[in-house]
Structure 1
Amino acid sequence: MVENINIRVANLQENYLIAKHLYLMWQDIGVPDESIQSNWLEITKEYIDNARHKLFYQAFIADISNTIVGSVSCKIFAGLYPNIIKPEYRKQGYIWGVYVEPDYRRQGIAKKLMEEAIAYLKSISCTKVILHASPQGKPLYSHLGFDENNEMGLDLS
């Protein structure tokens, strides 16, 4: 465990860093560079801007001695279909882009980032948190109490 880690809210100037971490996360899970759109930075920054204005977006940064080593993003889950359930019964938060620099992994940083994101989503009255886990992230998310869900997929490629 890292002792001198500071978890803080990301500022607007750090949108580039959040986007870069998302890009690196996709690389880490084996997505080839040629599969990623060349304007990934603009796409991600636009997504963040929209989510910040409409979906209570918040990002958190892990900082050790003024070196940023990780980040996580979270927001209200906008849904896949019209949400007709009252928010007090079903207001889902969504966590995405959990990333820690390779040299700092397995030291509890992702856990601290996740705890901060979960606390934020709870503070805005979310009733549930969802995420899509990479194989590397599943053990942490299970440890934090996330359970397997019934999402199913069919690869059409």
Structure 2
Amino acid sequence: MEREIYIREAFPEEDSLIAQHFYQMWLDNHVPSDSIESDWLNITLQFIECARKEGCHKAFVAEIDGRAIASASCQLFAGLYPHILKPESRKYGYIWGVYVEPPHRRQGLAKKLTLCAIDHLKSLNCTRVILHASPPGKPVYSSLGFSESNEMRLDLL
């Protein structure tokens, strides 16, 4: 018998779960654990707290039988340079930390959570949504209409 999956807004008490999913996302993308700060949990919790206060942070979870098995976060994009453009011209939202536990992948949960994040960012009158996709995530985001950007990189290491 299939169990029902429920998608909802995350509670602040679930910030540690969001942080754990974010950490696990990096590991699943083949980032060695010794490349991750040992204080990753507190770093992530502090980031979420600040983002909630300043950037309209929201997180969403998918749960089965009362247990969260996937999550995604979003917020206003703080930017990398001064904001001199009017918000109606350029107000970006950012989606991060989309994660689905391995046994529950390929069921459309990442897509559903991303759509929740998009809806939240729309409610904030964002003009664009940005995210950085892992190789396995690219098809999910492409199917939602995301296009590859003009971001250019120069690796220095």
TM-score by length of 2: 0.97
**Does 2:59 correspond to 1:59?**
yes
RMSD (Å) for aligned C-alpha atoms: 1.0
95-104 or 60-69, which deviates more = 60-69
**Does 2:127 correspond to 1:127?**
yes
Q: Which amino acid aligns with 1:30?
A: H
Match of 2:48 in 1: 48
Residue deviations 1:15-74 (CA, integer Å, cap 9, x gap): 100000000000010000100000000000000000000000000011112121100000
SS at match of 1:103: helix
Q: Which amino acid aligns with 1:87?
A: P
CA distance in 2, matches of 1:84, 1:4: 46
SS at match of 1:6: strand
SS at match of 2:6: strand
CA distance in 1, matches of 2:72, 2:28: 15
Unaligned runs of 5+ in 2: none
SS at match of 1:122: helix
Q: Which amino acid aligns with 1:59?
A: A
CA distance in 1, matches of 2:64, 2:91: 33
Unaligned runs of 5+ in 1: none
Q: Is the 8 A contact 2:9 2:60 kept in 1?
A: yes
Alignment of 1:43-122 (within 5 A): 43-122=43-122
CA distance in 1, matches of 2:111, 2:99: 11
CA distance in 1, matches of 2:6, 2:86: 36
Number of residue pairs aligned between Structure 1 and Structure 2: 156
Q: Is the 8 A contact 2:3 2:64 kept in 1?
A: no
Deviation (angstroms), 1:3: 7.0
Match of 1:18 in 2: 18
Deviation (angstroms), 1:6: 1.1
Q: Which runs of 4+ in 1 moved over 2 A?
A: none
SS at match of 1:90: coil
Percent of matched pairs sharing the same residue: 58
Deviation (angstroms), 1:12: 1.1
Residue deviations 1:78-126 (CA, integer Å, cap 9, x gap): 0010011100111000000000000000001111101100000001111
